[in-house]
Structure 1
Amino acid sequence: MLKKIGCIILVIMLNSCKKENKLEVEVYETSAKGNKLTRVLDFNTAKDAVEITVIPEKEYQTITGFGGSFTESSAYLLNKLSKKNRDKILQAYFGSDGANYSLTRTHISSCDFSLNNYTYAPVANDVELEHFSIEEDTEDLVPMIKDAMVISNEGFKIIASPWTAPPWMKDNNAYVGGKLLPKYYESYALFFSKYLEAYQKEGIDIWAVTVVNEPHGNGNNWESMLFSPQEMTNFVQQHLGPKLETEGFKNVHILGYDQNREGLKEWVDEMYKNQATSKYYAGTAIHWYESTVNYFPEALQYAHNKAPDKYLIQTEACVDAEVPKWQDDAWYWSKEATDWGWDWAPEHQKSWHPKYVPVYRYARDIIGCLNNWVDGWVDWNMVLDTQGGPNWVKNWCVAPVIVKPETDEVYFTPIYYTLAHFSKYIRPNAKRIEIKNPDKSLMVTAAKNPDNTIAVVVFNQEKQAKNFTLKLKQEKVELTIDAQAIQTIIIH
């Protein structure tokens, strides 16, 4: 009997020890108080702290990556800086000690963040594109991409998007607005394969293309070309898909749509109507400009459910319609930013465009996207100047890194560190995993990396610090997140 009692006591003691095991973690924080991806070691404890549970057994989407965009404007600015600062920025974005970007985007021919309008096929009626040339890109854009490739240890994927076809292929013969003439559908498909071949010759492989940036147009303000869902799907099904296949680029992914989330249902219904329409689409590309506060979870869920085996990638986001604040971290944590919709949104959508906190918008959108099946998230320009350009149409925007070429100065804004909380610690082929979070004031997401580390990202937009307990199976750790802060917690 005594032996049996002793065994029972031992089992109870072992279970008790098991329950008290401490979870070993590394915690990195960016906050309004000044932390910038700073390692945090000291935490408060509270008996009533909310418990956030990580459930790695329940997996969701596979992560494609995170990053930003190569634009002519960014590349031009890098070439205006000293070699030391140019390298510093590229290392900060692509080095393993930096943000370690894994998914990027670039433009095909010019966009608003180019120095001027240009196309790789300027000769009118050159239907075979015999005069096709990417020479315009070789001074700034191509060198930036190639230097980033050298720095990146793991490499990164590139999505390429045209803002318009060559003007002579369009019904208005202009860079801005208009539609692609059906008689040039085959030439426009050839335009893509010529681009892929030219970049390949430069040693740059393009991972995916979109048919056109923002097919609803941009109010006819800069390079654009209109497509309906039916027109784009017909073009992909009958022309672009077969052309890439026959020209040896069948492994280059085609992403449809490439605009704001509110229009997703109409587009995915057409793109994924049946097997024939779906065949050449690898996934859907989306932007965030529909709202500064709403990330449209219902639309994201709908798009995923319509094609659960396809990519769903956020391809463009930025603080738009703003001249950047220079070396003023507080502004990026303040509810002072406005976007295009502050002035121009229709009355029924005004509530989608209030003043907002730039860091909050980024953190909220990325976490909201991840928790609703988005597998990749790409920011817009990597580098802009203190005006928010250069931009040929004066469409000023903010980038995570702002530079002053005339004095060779560089400013890493809080947006840079916010993006790095995801790009640095959630790696390609990670699996998003289940989180139980009873605290509605905290936004949380988590992913299990290929090396089996788990990254948990917690976002606190309240004006006071919050204590919480992080639990994984039978292990726990008590943590604190500062007021107005974002944390990445690494579980080894």
Structure 2
Amino acid sequence: MRSYGLGRRQFLATAVGVAAAWTQVSGNAIAAPQQKQASRDNSVRVWLTDVSADKWVAGQDDVLFKARKTANPLTIKVDDGVKYQKVEGFGAAMTDSSAWLIDKLSPAERTKLMKKLFDPSKGIGLSLLRSPMAATDFNASGNYSYDDMPAGQTDPTLSNFSIRHDLPYIVPALRQALSLNPSIKIMANPWSPPGWMKTSDSMIGGTLKSEYTSALADYFVKFIQAYGEAGVPISYISPQNEPMGTPTWPGMFLSAYQEAELIQEIGKAFEADGISTKILAWDHNWDVPSYPETIFSDPAASKYTAGTGWHIYSGNPNSQTLVHNDYPGKETFITEATGGVWQDSDRTAFSEALGTWIINGTRNWANGVMLWNIALDPDRGPLNSDTAGIPMLRGLLTIDPADGRVTYNVDYHALAHASRFVKPGARRIYSNTLGEGSIENVAFQNPDGSKVLIAHNSGSAAKTFSVADGTHSFDYTLDAGDAVTFTYSGPAQSGRTPAATKVSDPTHDFMFKSASGPVTVTYDPELLPYQNSIRTGNKLVTYSLPIGAAVQTTGRALSRGKWTAKASAQPDWGVAANAIDGDIDTRWSLGHGPTSGDWFQIDLGSPTSFNKLVFDTGVNNSFDYVTKYQIYVSDDGVDWGSAIASGSGGIGKIAVTLPTRTAQYIRIVSTAVSGFWWAIGDIEVYGSARGAGSIAAPAAVSNGLQLKTWTSKEGSQVTVVFNGTANGKSFKISADGSYTYMLPSGTSAMFTTKKLSSFPSPKFSELKPERGMPRSKFTIRGAGFGDAQGLGTVYFGSSYAEIDTWSDTSISAYVPAGLPAGKVTVSVKGTSGVDAGGSSFDVIDLGSALPRTGWTAKASDATQGDAPGNMLDGSSDTRYSSGTGQYDGLWIQVDMGQTQTFNRIVLDVGGSVSDYARSADVYVSTDGSDYTKVSSAADGQRVHLMSFPTQTARYIKVVNTENVARSWWSVAEFNVYN
């Protein structure tokens, strides 16, 4: 019914690429560089990866710091006077499959390989290991747990607990790694507890039965004790791998509320048994930061929770900083990341591993980064024989068990740029990044005082940049796609003019005191689109609101006696009225994953003053919330004007505080695509008890709270309040006292204020195309729209357009579904509320499609369950999918059963946002053998109309003409028109 799309399974639904080969000829993983005869204090050692030359982490001649200024606009300033998180290390997962493959090597080859992986001096010094607790999708055998029972039987005392499965080859591999690198820390977590603990009575699917919460806590205790006795200490655990996904291999759904309860039980059990292992929450993707924050907001669970584990398969690493800023005392780890066949080149694979996961992962507060399988075989397995795993992933190594051949893949080399040089216990130190498409970087200082700078050119051309440290600098040129690691001991000399004279950095750090030591909260304008924004008076105020915090008003909930509700979609079992009936157990549901433009609306019955609304997904519901939204108000339900507020949704209740408004209608509009559905169990609106107050950043705080301010070069005023006390505290955020911010212990609140007059006036220039069908894509060009959508809107008449991308000069969006044919005015309103202008658009009506009775379809490639016939069945919920990444020559074919006359076809990808052909040719035939090309398109989109001169034929073949390895090709509906 739903597509949750939050795990590796969805990430793997984009396909086809390659892996890189190990090309080192040296016996060591990294060749020693040549040394120049120069002052060691000014000498910088250099290790270069040149992807196109197949040269990986290769030692180069030293470069020298020189006592000189640099005015290069591409300057990286390094400052060890500013320190951030402690680094625990870099590594990967010793899965059952990886350990089994390593065990197949001869003793000599096994030792050689393990040294290359773990030896800090002769290898790349991996210092973090993830060790799954029992079966995953990567097992050399079938499913197993540490306490399996026959069907229908249970073992609540865990009398049958045993790690015997792991003793032949998993535990020995872990012990050998520890012997080579005693600083290794191991994280363990289950894909599933024993099936008898779950509602599915299986390791696949289901959720934890509440009566076995305590038994599962004891299961962790017994595992840690057994592994400890076997010589493998466990430093971290998480309660559940990917708890919001239920794949076809071992897995278990666990809501944030269930995980909070389980963490409490595990924490108490650890205390009782003297176990010091730390607990990480979540262990899933970047795009649900409200899940770990829900656990942190529960004091009873938070006391046992060290931090968050993140996966990389949806969202982006900015979420790590969002959660860090909200709860700056918690640790952050990337616990799973993997490359695979969807990556179209070594360069893409290397860029994602080093640039996104390692550089941007640690810049966004990661204490460590762990990739997935250490080793897989040439068939990308072994896969669990009891489940439907996906053979699409790449390990750090490829081991062929037939002949023992070992290939070192691109991910191994990406890790080497960090793990070889950044030692456990290092601290990230200050460096400004030059951003995506330029030189991205991160800097560290090791415990011995030496420094490491990792830089990656993510642009499309070579770039010469400068590195400045204190009074010294040097220049370096890096080709597109390549990377370099610099290590040095100097030079920073205080008391003299800094070498860097032109350093641009829009971020700012705020330092605060806490009971556990200093904490840092980082302002970054890239985080603003993920926060809450309101227009209040002549200012735009953007503020953070950690889960557990609240903005309180003096008003009370309004009576719902005269309310009515409607929505952009309301299935029979989830009508809009359910959200306003006062019963949390009934709810409105959109019935599908929301897109930008879906909406829910309340008619208050008469003009009413209000300053807050709260919408609740329901008790213990970790799904079905709007991920990003805007709020509109109207006097007549027709003219909605500009959005008055925007924000990011989250698990549970979403509270939206507004400047006091008087209106009859309120509309909540989704502004992002989500794999969840959107549901509201209950919604309340709060009336204004006094005045017409407005939210503002606090001018001063007391009662133990700490406040710091900063003004950016662009004029944004940033205020951060940190609560370092042991209890929740409140402070006023309006002059009349009508708005109060409640800040929990250990959290921060950030306010960014900008005058509306400082925004440039938006200007609409052109709209292309000027004609199209509903759900087709169009582009608006102009200026001053704003860097992100924020409070901005694109209207087709009075309908909201679904936004694809939004930048200051260009907006890509889709014609709203359901629009009648004819001329309609397209208009843009900017973040400041100013109308940018617009133009006319001609919505076309294709008429009725040809009936498809008796039609059949086939394709060159198809995936199981997504057969070609699905695109002819009249349901957009089923689809054809290629099961491979797009390539030149991939085709689909429809047999209409008899000769037909037609001149247009429409390929509709349904709910997918990426699996459409970027370019394609159309061929027709009367006999299925002799085909004639009738059309070409190089501007593919989700709903694509392809027109051509009228044809009379029986067969239609569409041939993909572009390689898009990251996306499958899907068609939900194939329609033909005359």
CA apart distance, 1:380:
0.7
Q: Distance in 2 between matches of 1:309 and 1:24?
A: 37
- Greater displacement, 434-443 / 365-374: 434-443
Distance 1:470 1:54 in 2: 7
2:135 aligns with: 110
Give runs of aligned pairs for residues 217-296 of structure 1, distance below 5 A: 217-218=245-246, 220-237=247-264, 239-249=265-275, 251-264=276-289, 266-290=290-314, 295-296=316-317
Please give the alpha-carbon distance, in whole angstroms, between the structure 2 residues aligned to 1:439 and 1:162: 37
Tell which structure's C-alpha radius of gyration is larger: 2
Q: Which residue of 2 aligns with 1:428?
A: 424
Contact 1:30 1:486 in 2 (8 A): yes
- 1:226–1:41 Cα change, 3 Å: same
Contact 2:45 2:62 in 1 (8 A): no
Q: Say whether the 8 Å CA contact 2:459–2:481 is kept in structure 1.
A: yes
Which position in structure 1 is the counterpart of 2:362? 370
Deviation at 1:24, TM superposition (A): 1.8
**Structure 1 counterpart SS, 2:213:** helix
Structure 2 residue 50 is matched with structure 1 residue 31: yes
Give the conservation status (yes or no) of the 8 Å contact 1:104–1:157.
yes
Match for residue 126 of structure 2 among 101, 119, 122:
101
The reply to whether residue 180 of structure 1 matches residue 208 of structure 2 is: yes
Preserved contact between residue 432 and residue 447 of structure 1 (Cα < 8 Å):
yes
* C-alpha contact 2:130 2:335 (8 A) present in aligned 1: yes
Residue 85 (structure 1) shift: 2.3
Matched, 1:195 2:187: no
Give, in whole Å, the separation in 2 of the partners of 1:269 and 1:405.
44
Displaced runs of 4+ in structure 1, greater than 6 A?
42-47
Query: Residues 46 and 63 of structure 2 are in contact (CA less than 8 Å); yes or no, is this contact kept in structure 1?
Result: no
1:385 and 2:404 aligned = no
**Cα contact 1:23–1:472 (8 A) shared by 2:** no
- Which residue in the other structure is 2:861 paired with? none
| CA gap 1:417/1:273 in 2 versus in 1, 3 angstroms | same
- 2:82 pairs with 1:58: yes
1:161-181 per-position Cα deviation (integer Å, ceiling 9, x unaligned): 101110011111011110110
Superimposed CA distance per residue, residues 61-118 of structure 1 (whole angstroms, 9 cap, x where no aligned partner): 1112111111110111111122232222211110122110111111111111112100
**Which residue is 1:351 aligned to?**
none
- Give the 3 Å change call, closer, same or farther, for CA 47–296 of structure 1 in structure 2: closer
8 A contact 1:120–1:132 mirrored in 2: yes
Bigger drift between 457-466 and 51-60 goes to 457-466
Contact 2:285 2:314 in 1 (8 A): yes
Taking the aligned partners of 1:42 and 1:488, their CA distance within structure 2 comes to: 12
Gapped runs of 5+ residues in structure 1?
Answer: 1-20, 325-329, 334-356
Q: 1:361 aligns with which of 339, 348, 352?
A: 352
Counterparts of 2:374 and 2:286, CA distance in 1? 23
User: How far apart are residue 414 of structure 1 and its match?
Assistant: 2.0
User: Does the 8 A contact of 2:96 with 2:138 survive in 1?
Assistant: yes
Q: State the Cα distance separating 1:290 from its structure 2 match.
A: 1.0
The whole-number CA distance in structure 1 between the counterparts of 2:42 and 2:464 is 16
1:402 and 2:398 matched: yes
Alignment counterpart, residue 443 of structure 1, candidates 440, 445, 458: 440
Q: Is the 8 A contact 2:44 2:488 kept in 1?
A: yes
Please say if residues 332 and 415 of structure 1, whose CA atoms lie closer than 8 Å, have aligned partners that are also in contact.
no
Q: State whether structure 2 residue 468 is matched by structure 1 residue 468.
A: no
Q: Tell me the CA shift for residue 437 of structure 1.
A: 4.0
What's the counterpart of residue 304 of structure 1?
A: 324
Query: In structure 1, the residue corresponding to 2:474 is in which secondary structure?
Result: strand
- Partner residue of 1:317? 337
Q: Secondary structure at the match of 2:308?
A: strand
User: Are residue 162 (structure 1) and residue 182 (structure 2) matched?
Assistant: no
Partner of 2:415: helix, strand, or coil?
helix
Q: Quote how far apart the aligned CAs of 1:37 are.
A: 1.0
1:332 equivalent to 2:371? Answer no
Q: CA deviation at 1:22?
A: 8.6
Given the superposition, is the C-alpha separation of residues 82 and 48 from structure 1 closer, same or farther in structure 2, using an over 3 Å criterion?
same
Does the CA contact (< 8 Å) of 1:23 and 1:476 recur in 2?
A: no
Q: 1:490 aligns with which of 487, 490, 512?
A: 487
Q: Secondary structure at the match of 1:391?
A: coil
TM-superposed CA distance for 1:277, in Å, is: 2.9
User: Residues of 1 paired with 2:132 and 2:342: CA distance?
Assistant: 22
2:179 match: 150
Matched residue SS, 1:41:
strand
Aligned-pair identity in percent equals: 29
Contact 1:85/1:410, CA 8 A, preserved across alignment:
no
The answer (yes or no) to whether the contact 1:60–1:431 under 8 Å persists in 2 is yes
Alignment partners' CA distance in 2, 1:49 and 1:85: 49
Q: Please report the TM-score for the alignment, with normalisation by the length of structure 1.
A: 0.84
1:56 alignment partner, SS class: strand
Instruction: List aligned pairs for 1:58-97, cutoff 5 A.
Output: 58-96=82-120, 97=122
Any conservation in 2 of the 1:55–1:472 contact (CA below 8 Å)?
Answer: yes
1:460 deviates by: 0.9
Letter in 2 for 1:276: A
Shift of 1:120: 0.7
Asked if the contact 2:442–2:455 (Cα under 8 Å) also holds between the matched residues in 1, the reply is yes
CA deviation string 1:297-326 (max 9, x = no partner): 1x1112102221111111011124x399xx
Q: Which residue number corresponds to residue 210 of structure 1?
A: 238
Q: Which amino acid aligns with 2:308?
A: T
CA contact (8 A) 2:195 2:201 kept: yes
Change (3 A) 1:438 1:283: closer
- What SS does the corresponding residue of 1:290 show, helix, strand or coil? coil
After superposition, the C-alpha distances for 1:349-396 in whole angstroms (9 at most, x for unaligned) are xxxxxxxx1111111222111111111110111011111110113322
Question: C-alpha separation between the residues in 1 aligned to 2:258 and 2:396?
Answer: 36
CA contact (8 A) 1:385 1:402 kept: yes
- Are the aligned partners of 1:50 and 1:439 in contact in 2 as well (CA < 8 Å)? no
Distance 1:473 1:174, change over 3 A: same
Question: Following the alignment from structure 1 to structure 2, what is the Cα–Cα distance between the partners of residues 259 and 224?
Answer: 12
Task: Report which structure shows greater RCO (CA 8 Å, sep ≥6).
Answer: 1
Change in 2 beyond 3 A, CA 1:43/1:35: farther
Structure 2 residue aligned with 1:9: none
The size of the alignment, in residue pairs, is 435
Pick the aligned partner of 1:479 from 476, 480, 484.
Answer: 476
- Whole-angstrom CA distance in 2 between matches of 1:79 and 1:22: 45
Higher strand fraction: Structure 1 or Structure 2? 2
Assess if the C-alpha contact under 8 Å between 1:286 and 1:314 holds in 2: yes
Cα offsets for 1:411-438 (capped at 9, x unmatched): 1112211111111111122111111344
Matched AA of 2:317: F
Contact 2:286–2:317 (8 Å) recurs in 1: yes
3-state SS of paired residue (1:405): coil
Tell me which amino acid in the other structure corresponds to 1:106.
S
Q: Which amino acid aligns with 2:323?
A: A
Q: Which has the higher helix share?
A: 1
The verdict on how the C-alpha distance between 1:170 and 1:274 changes in structure 2, with shifts beyond 3 A counting, is: closer
My pick for the range that moved more, 390-399 or 374-383, is 390-399
